[in-house]
Amino acid sequence: MNPSLRIALVFCGSVLIAARTHAQPATTHPMSHDIRHDSRQEVVFPPLVKRHTLATMRMHLQGLGEIQQALADGHFEEAAHIATMNLGMSSMHGNQMAEDAKYMPQGMMKLGALMHQRAAEFAVAAQNAAATGDVRPPLRALSQVTQTCVACHAVYRLR
Ligand code: HEC
């Protein structure tokens, strides 16, 4: 290859690399995780329990979306009902909780219980809003629910 062409190519390459490096933010968002170092605690669930747990999780996420929709529409009773059925204690079917609990570390179990408790608190706040029309208390209570999702996901993963 022609030496000056090679130098030109190398130069262009360096400029591209420099530009790309520059495009990356110098600091990452404080909440973001370094995916090369997953320091979450690995919890071993039997395959069927894991599949059931993840299906329940997806149902929780769907429930959050439906609750937000109901709040936006001013359907407070409905929001309370969804929270009770989908995120509350009654969202656990039969002896499922006892079954799952066998495989959960203590801290995970506590966070699960906290989520159900906060869902119940949300339901009360949403029912009150049906009388007051003020969406803020149930919204605040809902963010407490979401924070328990975030807290557990930050610490545990399933194998
Ligand atoms: C007690 C702990 C805990 C709580 C509370 C919790 N999760 Fe999870 N969730 C997990 C774990 C563990 C996983 C698996 C993560 C992994 O292996 O990377 C998971 C996975 C998920 C997934 C992925 C499902 C899939 O098919 O892969 C979704 C969606 C999810 N959670 C939603 C939620 C939402 C929404 C909430 C709150 C309303 C919530 N979770 C509360 C522990 C929890």
Cα-to-centroid distance, 61 and ligand 1 (Å): 9
Cα 20 from Cα 146, distance rounded (Å)? 35
Indicate if ligand 1 lies below 6 Å from the C-beta of 137.
no
Cα-to-centroid distance, 66 and ligand 1 (Å): 17
Cα-to-centroid distance, 126 and ligand 1 (Å): 24
Cα 119 from Cα 82, distance rounded (Å)? 10
Cα 158 from Cα 92, distance rounded (Å)? 19
Q: What is the pLDDT along the chain (159 residues), one digit of tens a residue?
A: 555 555 555 544 454 444 444 444 444 454 555 677 889 999 999 999 999 999 999 999 999 999 999 999 999 999 999 999 999 877 665 566 677 788 999 999 999 999 999 999 999 999 999 999 999 999 999 999 999 999 999 999 999
